[in-house]
Chain A
Amino acid sequence: MPGIQYYDLRHVTGQVTHIDIDNGIVESAGTSFFNKAVIRVLSKTGWGVLQIDNYSPCTGKKFEAILDEACRLSRITQEKVILGDAPHGILPVPSMKEDPRDVCIEEKSSLLLGIEQAARHPLVVNTRANFIEKIENVQFVDSSENKYSYEMCRSGFNVMAVASRNGNVQMGYEREHSIHGFNLRHQQSQGKKAADIAVALLDAGAAKSGKMRAVLDPELAGVFAHEAVGHASEGDLVNEGNSVLKGKTGQKIGNENLTIIDDPGIHEFGFDPVDAEGVAVCRTEIIKKGTINAFLHNRETLSSVGNGVAGHARAMPGEPPLVRMSNTFIEAGDSTEHEIFEECRNGIFLKGSRGGQVDPGRGIFQFNAEYGYLIENGECTTMVRDVSLSGEILMTLHKILLCGNQRTMSPGYCGKGGQSVPVSDGAPHILLNDAVVGGSGVD
C-alpha cells in the first residue's frame, strides 16, 4: 500500500484459569477468555498503531482498511524510523511434562489447598495460595510475509503465610512458575517453607543500615543483574539517552569474573520462541568479562543504536512491543559457596527478593531481600528482616568480588511502560564489597 514501509499484526487469543484460596476459603476459581490484537504500520514519519480488542482476522479490502487507518494515524508522527535487518525464525516450544488443561479444576483446587494448608502453624494468622494458568495462542504476520504461530502455556502458584505475635506481623512467600507444565503436585513443602520463614522472622531483628560486605543468594543476585544492568542495556532507553551505559561500549565496569547474559531462547520462564516482531531470538552477552559488550534491541533500536542484536522485542497481548529482558543472568564463576562466605568474613547474607526498581538514566537501583542473616567469621548467624540494597550501577559492578560456581534461575514478572511480561533472573551466589544496605535497625 502507498505510504506503508512495513506492517505487522500480532493477534493473541487465549484463556486464563485462576484459583485463589485465602485462609482455607476458595475465594474464586474459574476461567476467563481474551482476544487482543495489535497492528503496527510504519510510514515515512513513524509508527501508527491500532490496539483492537476482540479482533476478527480478515483479509483483502477489510484488512487494507485497517492498515489505512493505522497509516493515517501515523501522520502525526515526526520521526523517520529505520528498521535494522534481523534474522527471522521460530524455535520449537518445549513440550510440557503434564498439560495443565488435562487436569480438572477441582483437582487443581484440591492440590492448591494442600499447599495452603501446609502453611498453617499456631503463629500463622493468614495463609493464602494462588494458582494461575495462562494459555496464549499467538499469530504473527508482517509485510514481508513472515508468518508465525505458536501456543505457550505458563502456569504456577504462589503461597504466602503471615505470622503475628504481639503486634509484630511478618510474612513468608514462596512461588513456582513454569513453562514446563503443571506443577502443583508434591509442593506442600513450599507452603511449609513460607510458614517457617514467617514464624522465624518474628524473632528476627531489624537489619542495621550502612556500608558492608554482602553475600547475595542466586535469586537476589539475579534481581541485581536484572535491575542494575538489564534495564540500562535496553536499546530504547539507550537511544533516548536514558541509560548510564550509553556510549560506554567497550568500557570496563566490572571485574574480569563478571559476565551478564540475556537469552530469550533458553527454556526458563522468560522463554519466547520468536520475538514480538517476528525476529529470531538469540543470546546477548551484555557484560562480557567486566566490559560492556552489547545492548538488547528491537529492529528499530538496532538500527539507531547498534551494538547488539534484535530479537528482544516483547509484548503483552494487544500491546505494542517494547525492548525487554527475558531470561537474565550472571554467569557462574569458579568460587565455592564456602569460599564466598569465608572471604566475606563479616557482613550480611541477603536471601530472596521482594522486587526492585531502577532509574537507568541516573544509574541508581534499589531492591529488597525477603530476609537475611548476619555473617560473622564466615558463618551465618542471626536472622534479620526488612533488609534492602541500593547502589549506583557504574560503581557497584566493580565491587563484585566473587561469583559462585552454581547458577539457579527464578521466575517472575517485570513491568515497563505499563506492560508486565514473564521473566526469569538468575545468578550464582555473589560477594559484594561496600554494599549499601538499608534497614531500620539501630545500635
Chain B
Amino acid sequence: MAVAWIDQLIHEAEKKVDEVEVFLVKGTSVSAELKQKKVNLAITSEDCGLGVRTIHKGRIGSSSTNNPDQWQECLNAAIASGKLATPQDWNGLPDPAPFSQTPLSFDTSITIEPPVVIELIEKMLKGADEHPAEVAAGSASLSSVTVTLANSKGIRYTDKNTGVSLSLEAIHEQSTGYEFDHSCFLDKVDPVAVGERATFFATESDNGKDIASGDYDILLSPLAYGELLGNVFIPALSGRNVHAGRSRLAQSLGKIVADTQISMYDDPHREKGNGSVRWDAEGTPTRRIDFIRDGILETFAYDLKTAYRFGKTSTGSAIRGGFGGLPSIGHHNFVVDGKRCGVADDPVIYIHNVVGAHTANPMSGEFSVEFSNAFWMEGSQYDTPIRSAMLSGNIFDMHHNISGLSKESRAVGSMILPSIKINNQHIIGK
C-alpha cells in the first residue's frame, strides 16, 4: 500500500537520480505520567515524518521533514545532499519480494485510548503497594505506528506496529528502585510486576552494607548486562565499525571471543519479539544472523551501503531511529543464549542495574560502573543489600569468564538476555 504522492515523488526523482527510497512514518500515542501516586500529566501525540534517500552515480543523499506535503522540497534537499557525498560502489536498492502481509509486531487488541493507560497505571500502583517504598514517578504509554517503505525498484511495503511501555520509580529512605516493561503486545507486559519489582528493590536495598574492595563472583541481571552489552559489545559487531577500525572484534572472525557456552544471534522473526520485522529499513529481507556460535565469532552485521563498499552482502541489519537521516546498522531481536544453569545456587553478588555504562570506552571495552540495587545472594535468595560499590573491568575480556547463564531470559528493549554469572570480577568498595 502506498499513497499517490509517493508514486509521484518516485516518478519525479527518477528524472534526476538513479534511485530513490521513501520512508514514511505515521503514528499516534497516548501516555500518562505519575507524580508519586497521582496522574499529573496526560499526553497524546500525532507523529508524522518523511525521509527521502537518493542514490546517483554512487552518491547517497538524504533529507527529511515532518510535512509530507512538502515532499518536493525534501526531494530536492536530498538530491542536493547527494552531490556532496563521496561516491561509492553501489549495486542497487532491493527488488520487491513476496512477504506475508500480517505484521509481526502489531497487537489488534490495543486501542490507543486514555482509559487503557489508566488501567495499566492502576495495576502498576497495585503491585507497588506490595512493599513499603513510596512511588516517586512512573508512566504508561501506548503507541501505534505505520511505516511505509517505497523505492524506485517497485517496493511498496507497509508495516504496522504497536507498543506498550511501562515504568515506575520508587524510593525508600535513601534507596531507590526502578522497573520497566515494554512489548508490542498488551498481554506480554505485566504492570503489576513492574510496580511490585520497583518498590521491592527500593525497600530491600535500604540499609545496605559496605563491601571491601576485591575480586568477587558476580551475577549481572539482564538489565545490568544489557547496559554493558548495548553500549560497547554490540556496536563492535557492526560491519561499519569493523571496517572503519572502530571495533575491537575486527580481527577476530573465526576466533573465540567469548566463553564456548555463549552464542549471540539476531532473530528478526521471533514470535512477539519487540523488534520483529520481515524486512529491514532498506527493504532487505531479514534473516537470522549467528554472530557468535559456541564462543566463536562468525560474522558481522551489514546494511547495503557498508556491504557494497566492502564487497559483502547485506545481512538485513539496516535500522532507522526515526524517519530522518540515513539507515544505519543495528539489530532486530538480539539474543544471548547458551547452556543454562542455576547461576545463584552458590553465593554470588547480584547486580540488578548499573549507573554510568554509557561512559565506557567503546573502543577498548574498559568500563567502571556504580552498582544499583546490588545484593549478596545465595540459593537464589536476596540477602544483605550492598550500599555502594564500583565494578571495573573490560566487557570483551569479561565474556571469556562467563561461568553460567540463568534459566530465564528477559527482553530489555530489543535484546533478549539471561542473567550472566562471571567469576573473579574486580569490585571497588567504599
Please report A residues at the B interface, Cβ cutoff 8 Å: 19, 22-36, 46-54, 69, 73-74, 76-79, 81, 105-106, 109, 125-126, 128, 162, 164, 167-171, 206, 209-210, 236, 239-242, 244, 320, 354-359, 361-368, 385-388, 390, 392, 436, 438-440, 442
Contacts and interface: CB of A to CB of B under 8 A. Distances in A.
A74 B361 contact: no
Contacts, number: 262
A438 B428 contact: yes
A125 B174 CA distance: 46
Contact of B42 (A26, A48, A386): A48
A167 B251 contact: yes
Interface string B400-426: 000000000000000000000000001
Contact of A53 (B40, B47, B85, B372): B47
A76 B355 contact: no
5 contacts: A28-B60, A28-B62, A169-B248, A361-B169, A386-B368
A357 to B, nearest CB: 4
B35 A440 contact: no
A442 B369 CA distance: 17
A30 B77 contact: yes
Contacts of B81: 28-31
A362 B176 contact: yes
B74 interface: yes
Contacts of B426: 209, 440, 442
B388 A33 contact: no
A367 B171 contact: no
A320 B362 CA distance: 32
Contact of B390 (A29, A356, A358, A436): A436
Shortest 3 CB-CB contacts between residues of A and residues of B: A30-B81, A438-B368, A125-B245
B47 to A, nearest CB: 5
A32 B136 contact: no
Nearest to A415: B358
A106 B84 contact: yes
A363 B61 CA distance: 46
Contacts of A368: 356, 359-360, 368
B359 A362 contact: no
Most buried by B among A170, A206, A354, A359: A359
B47 A361 contact: no
A236 B169 CA distance: 13
B42 A73 contact: yes
Contacts of A19: 84
Contacts of A105: 84
Given A73-B44, A169-B364, A440-B368, 7 more contacts: A46-B40, A73-B30, A105-B84, A241-B134, A358-B355, A361-B174, A439-B392
Contacts of A365: 355, 370
Q: How large is the interface on B (under 10, 10 to 19, 20 to 34, 35 or more residues)?
A: 35 or more
A79 B171 contact: no
A387 B366 CA distance: 9
B66 interface: yes
A197 B38 CA distance: 51
B126 to A, nearest CB: 16
A296 B178 CA distance: 24
Given A240-B136, A438-B428, A364 B358 contact: no
Nearest to B251: A167
B364 to A, nearest CB: 5
A52 B364 contact: no
Contacts of B363: 162, 169-171
B244 A32 contact: no
B326 interface: yes
B232 to A, nearest CB: 12
A236 to B, nearest CB: 8
Interface stretch (B114-122, B147-155, B267-275, B290-298): B114-122
B366 A210 contact: no
A160 B392 CA distance: 24
B213 A240 contact: no
B73 interface: yes
Given A79-B40, A169-B248, A241-B134, A438 B61 contact: no
